Structure 1
């Protein structure tokens, strides 16, 4: 497979997004790994950020930059969404560690998660983000400036399982996101984040503290809307998650060019949509939010997949995007969307796979096509 940024764009973007049409197919991650290696070696990229818990990602980055943890530990504690089970993700971390070995810190390549500490079933307790932010500030600023003590945070947080209760996703009454304690925590998180910003001249270059600040405020906002009972609850939850993702990508882009990897719905320029039962939902993805800030500094490549036989997704109809590409002789290649004419939509027999929408073609910079998942 040949690939170069100049194949689909004229300038190096600050964020190059690569979207996948489904999760769990390692062949897509293998292609991602190959593209990222080329971006590092030929185009100076320094970070790969994937759709995984941003705090857990710090563990994986500790492995690839300094070997502070073992590879097994990085796989176990460095990924969310069960992505640590992927052989391709393991190979990615192994390559990053080998690339960084012997290089000075300024030349090393980093791994990051850019999702919040969120699973489809629940949201995590804000404890880790809040307590680490508080500890960081307590060690560096005048104690009289701190809005609370560590003991106050601990009391307000209570038991973590109250926050991570999976029943809250479908039942707002189970959420503690609008209790008096949670409201107090939102105010304290905001003050701690503001204190971090106000001390920036003395606290330069501490990206992890800023990550903890963003995560604490974002998580508490997410929990607040988990407790909502209005029709705006689900759109708010989707929007808060997208905003958290976007803020993390923008922060990473400030340190050098970033390759972002996630589902197409999180990276596309057009509005994302889904149905939950009979409820249609729409929201602006993280990619759309990032592009609103970066303009031409954001580029989006969409992955398309021909077959996933073990999921019942067979040969695509010839007049669809995937069918037109499937008819070509190569198994993996990059193509200009403008060369595909007017294909018709493909309908997937499996809910976990989202074919590319022909209406989205004008908003895509390039399509990375993979003929077959090869899964089992």
Structure 2
């Protein structure tokens, strides 16, 4: 089989043809990043999303950013609340408010909603964390405010138990679990109160509007997830970092399942969070492994979950060897290609793994092609945001 027969140009027609080739219409179409902040990939993502909205009925976009901050972006996109500058400043974590492609996407989504009745939605689906974590204050107090009495505690009790936020957000806890308050008496009581409030929410769903039900559920799972995460930040066992990685991806997966409830969505995050196989990471002398958000969400959604990994040919001044997957795909006649990995696996025999020359770039693993639905391939990726 000629390698060209496994791929098509990455344009609207190519995206629609790929979707038609799938066994089911995906609820979550994951577009992975081989590296964050690649400008060309962000621009292509915007083109893909515009096509999905205008021709395939997609109405939601989700990105690897703080789920609570994402509410600021969604309010702007759906109602025009705030200004674009303020939203890009306050509505993203991990510096994802700085890329021009993200700014252009938010601007376009707001402009679309101003002209159409069927609103586009914006979601952050990461927890308010990376390896350190935010205070659970926002999630707990917002959930408390949406509930009706009798409540398991007062707002004043919550404030007293939470204390100053900086005792939760100490970044030194990443390497020093003794600095975490996650297993303190206050934190243990907050975990019980969070559980009680989530249970109370279930008894009060009929009195809440659909919008309040959606937000209350988000606050509830975020509060419980953050307190669980802080608890294990205080753990001193060798399993600590692997458990924290798994908890983060589990929180992502729960948020993605909530996004899927709104209908087909484009999801944009790192390949490692979308893959169906186990994530592996070496940390010192430890080999960490855990199931990614995509693997967890895919278990629930089956063939309604689809994963497109991105891959780059030339990255800066690094050109892939011709016997690697990226080297083979560099021979395609298009600058940007959409590759059917099922056919690609038949067309290439045991390609060599590419060695990354930059810690932030993760090449395709040839052994995992069978767990990927497609590859978005850029022959060159040279501009960083």
TM-score range, shorter-chain basis?
over 0.9
Q: SS at 2:231's partner residue?
A: helix
Aligned to 2:326: 322
Distance 2:115 2:47 in 1: 22
Q: SS at 2:302's partner residue?
A: helix
Moved over 6 A (4+): none
Higher relative contact order, structure no. (Cα contacts within 8 Å, ≥ 6 residues apart) = 2
Distance 1:83 1:308 in 2: 21
2:285 to 278, 281, 291: 278
Aligned to 1:246: 253
Residue 329 of structure 1: how far off its partner (Å): 2.2
Aligned to 2:272: 265
Q: How many aligned residue pairs are there? A: 365
Distance 1:202 1:160 in 2: 32
Aligned to 1:53: 66
Of 151-160 and 35-44, deviating more is 35-44
Aligned to 2:5: none
Matches within 5 A, 1:150-169: 150-169=155-174
2:128 to 117, 121, 143: 117
Output the TM-score relative to the length of structure 1.
0.95
Checking the alignment, whether the CA contact within 8 Å between 2:342 and 2:373 is kept in structure 1 is no
Q: SS at 1:275's partner residue?
A: strand
Aligned to 2:312: 305
Question: Per-residue CA shift, 1:216-254, capped at 9, x if unaligned?
Answer: 000000000000001221121011101100000001101
Structure 2: gaps spanning 5 or more residues: 1-9
Matches within 5 A, 1:64-79: 64-79=77-92
Q: SS at 1:199's partner residue?
A: helix
Residue 31 of structure 1: how far off its partner (Å): 1.1
**Pair 272,230 (structure 1): closer, same or farther in 2 beyond 3 Å:** same
Checking the alignment, whether the CA contact within 8 Å between 1:17 and 1:300 is kept in structure 2 is yes
Aligned to 2:137: 127
Question: Per-residue CA shift, 1:108-152, capped at 9, x if unaligned?
Answer: 1111100000134x2000000000110111xxx2x22x1000000
Aligned to 2:101: 88
Distance 1:276 1:92 in 2: 35
Checking the alignment, whether the CA contact within 8 Å between 1:268 and 1:285 is kept in structure 2 is yes
Output the TM-score relative to the length of structure 2.
0.93
Question: Per-residue CA shift, 1:255-293, capped at 9, x if unaligned?
Answer: 111111110110000111111122111100000000111
2:146 to 136, 139, 147: 136
Checking the alignment, whether the CA contact within 8 Å between 1:308 and 1:375 is kept in structure 2 is no
Distance 1:171 1:162 in 2: 14
Distance 2:271 2:115 in 1: 35
Distance 2:78 2:207 in 1: 25
Residue 64 of structure 1: how far off its partner (Å): 1.0
Distance 2:23 2:186 in 1: 51
Distance 2:100 2:327 in 1: 29
What is the root-mean-square deviation in Å for CA atoms of aligned residues?
Answer: 1.2
Aligned to 1:19: 32
Checking the alignment, whether the CA contact within 8 Å between 2:336 and 2:379 is kept in structure 1 is yes
Aligned to 1:174: 179
Checking the alignment, whether the CA contact within 8 Å between 1:5 and 1:12 is kept in structure 2 is no
1:62 to 64, 68, 75: 75
Q: SS at 1:84's partner residue?
A: coil
Q: Does 1:357 align with 2:365?
A: yes
Aligned to 1:289: 296
Of 334-343 and 322-331, deviating more is 334-343
Residue 10 of structure 1: how far off its partner (Å): 3.6
Of 215-224 and 20-29, deviating more is 20-29
